[in-house]
Amino acid sequence: MTTASKFWGRVQEDVRTVSERARREAERAVRTGVLRVDLVSLRRGRNRANADLGARLLALWSEEKLGDLTQDPEALRLKALVQSIEEVMTAKEEELRAIRSRGSDEARTQ
């Protein structure tokens, strides 16, 4: 009787361990997916802001006002927007790398 209860205790513990590992992997996969989608969206936003900045520069160039570039509020706004998007992208890419390295570390220890 004791052997049977020990057996079922080990089975129960193994099931808990596998369940916990599967839950962690699912959370990691979801977070990775969300970060990847965010990065795609941020890249599109950055490309759009860069295109708008290029259009603004072309307009200033056409008007022969490139010297006013550092005083143009729209160009400065677009430049700041691109920089802020790139900062957010850098943070998300770092988070994604951290999640991936934690996942590979966990896989190696198992």
The phi-psi region of residue 37 (left if phi > 0; otherwise alpha if psi is between -120 and 50; otherwise beta) is alpha
DSSP state of 71: G
| Average pLDDT of every residue of the chain | 90
- Phi-psi category of 64—alpha, beta or left, where left has phi over 0 and alpha has psi -120 to 50? left
The CA R_g of the chain, rounded to the nearest whole Å, is 26
Domain ranges of the chain: 2-109
Instruction: Please tell me the pTM assigned to this model.
Output: 0.74
* Residue range 12-64, pLDDT digits in tens: 888 999 999 999 999 999 999 999 999 999 999 999 999 999 999 999 999 88
DSSP state of 72: -
Contacts of 43 (CB under 8 A, 6+ apart): 89
pLDDT in tens, 54-99: 999 999 999 888 787 788 999 999 999 999 999 999 999 999 999 9
